[in-house]
Amino acid sequence: MTANFLIGLREGLEATLIVVLLMAYLTKSGRRALLPRLWAGVGIAVAVSVGFGALLTFGPRGLTFEAQEAIGGGLSIIAVGLVTWMVFWMARTARTLGSELRSRVDGVADGAAWGLVLVAALAVGREGLETALFLWAAAQASGESGTPLFGALVGLAVAAGLGYLLHRGVLKVNLSRFFTWTGVALVVIAGGVLAYGVHDLQEAGILPGLHSLAFDVSAAVPPSSWYGTLLKGTLNFSPATTWLEAAACVLYTIPVMFFYLRANFRPPLRRAEAPAATAAVAS
């Protein structure tokens, strides 16, 4: 029961965090009208995952293990690309918030609709297939032994609840700080997602180095513990991390964070310079 709860919680957090932060961003910047697009992406991902999961479980054909890992890993890496793009899009629009450029910015946000749908779909979808397979298995088992499905669903619900609380909490934060920190959080999470994607591809044998570990702290942070679960769910932190994962994470997070902070901490009030700065970010 507890273990199944933790699986649900972890997978739920992995899937929702990015969506929650983007949601908070849209709300905060007064673009609630775009929220349905985010939800549409989530809906698509859930529907596709559940359907695909059912097909793989009950249909005549299943996916090879390499294919499953390659899809999970591939989606993770594409998701990182898109989230990065979103983060800079946010940085750019946040800077011009409240200025006379607002209407133009909204136009840009309109254009990013596809991106929003896609980010949401990828953020949820990359974990969706695995979660759906697990839930179908749990549903099959729930007749015979206790309530594994119940545990998993409670875990998912708690993840959603935590997401909601985070969303509410984040909304209370003061505006300028909010924009910086959601971005920072997204970059950190994306770094973890990238490492996770790399790991999947290593397991599939597409990338090498599965057994060259940079560190292994699984004795101190057991993956099945609640804190291991939270670290994995929020930051995609793996207690046994390969060199390639670590390198991918560091090589992504540090430069992206640098450019992100530079884009954010330029003095925002010198209006004459603003367009030039945004151009630099956009290129």
What is the binding site for another protein (CB under 8 A)? 1, 3-4, 6-7, 11, 56-57, 59-67, 70-71, 74-75, 78, 81-82, 101, 104, 107-108, 110-115, 118, 122, 130, 133-134, 137-138, 140-141, 144-146, 148, 151-152, 203-205, 210-211, 218-219, 222-224, 239-240, 274-279, 282
Which H or E element spans position 275? Answer: helix 274-282
Do 253 and 191 contact (CB within 8 A), yes or no?
yes
Q: What region does 240 belong to: left with phi over 0, alpha with psi -120 to 50, or beta?
A: beta
Angle between helices 65-95 and 2-28 in degrees, nearest 10 = 30
User: Nearest approach, Cβ of 192 to another protein (angstroms)?
Assistant: 17
For another protein, the closer of residues 145 and 174 by Cβ is 145
For another protein, the closer of residues 20 and 117 by Cβ is 117
For another protein, the closer of residues 1 and 165 by Cβ is 1
What the block records as the tokens of 277 is 């700065």
User: Nearest approach, Cβ of 171 to another protein (angstroms)?
Assistant: 26
Map residue 222 onto helix, strand or coil: coil
Do 167 and 24 contact (CB within 8 A), yes or no?
yes
80 exposure class (CB count in 10 Å sphere: 0-12, 13-18, 19+): buried
Going by C-beta distance under 8 Å and a sequence separation of 6 or more, which residues neighbour residue 90? 25, 29, 179, 182, 183
For another protein, the closer of residues 66 and 255 by Cβ is 66
Do 6 and 229 contact (CB within 8 A), yes or no?
yes
For another protein, the closer of residues 11 and 245 by Cβ is 11
User: Nearest approach, Cβ of 151 to another protein (angstroms)?
Assistant: 7
Residue 175: count other Cβ atoms within 10 Å of its Cβ. Answer: 11
User: Nearest approach, Cβ of 138 to another protein (angstroms)?
Assistant: 5
User: Nearest approach, Cβ of 168 to another protein (angstroms)?
Assistant: 29
Do 91 and 261 contact (CB within 8 A), yes or no?
no
Going by C-beta distance under 8 Å and a sequence separation of 6 or more, which residues neighbour residue 117? 37, 38, 40, 41, 44
For another protein, the closer of residues 6 and 162 by Cβ is 6
User: Nearest approach, Cβ of 69 to another protein (angstroms)?
Assistant: 8
For another protein, the closer of residues 155 and 170 by Cβ is 155
What the block records as the tokens of 134 is 């697990």
For another protein, the closer of residues 61 and 172 by Cβ is 61
User: Nearest approach, Cβ of 248 to another protein (angstroms)?
Assistant: 18
Radius of gyration in angstroms for the set of CA atoms belonging to the chain, rounded to a whole number = 20
User: Nearest approach, Cβ of 178 to another protein (angstroms)?
Assistant: 23
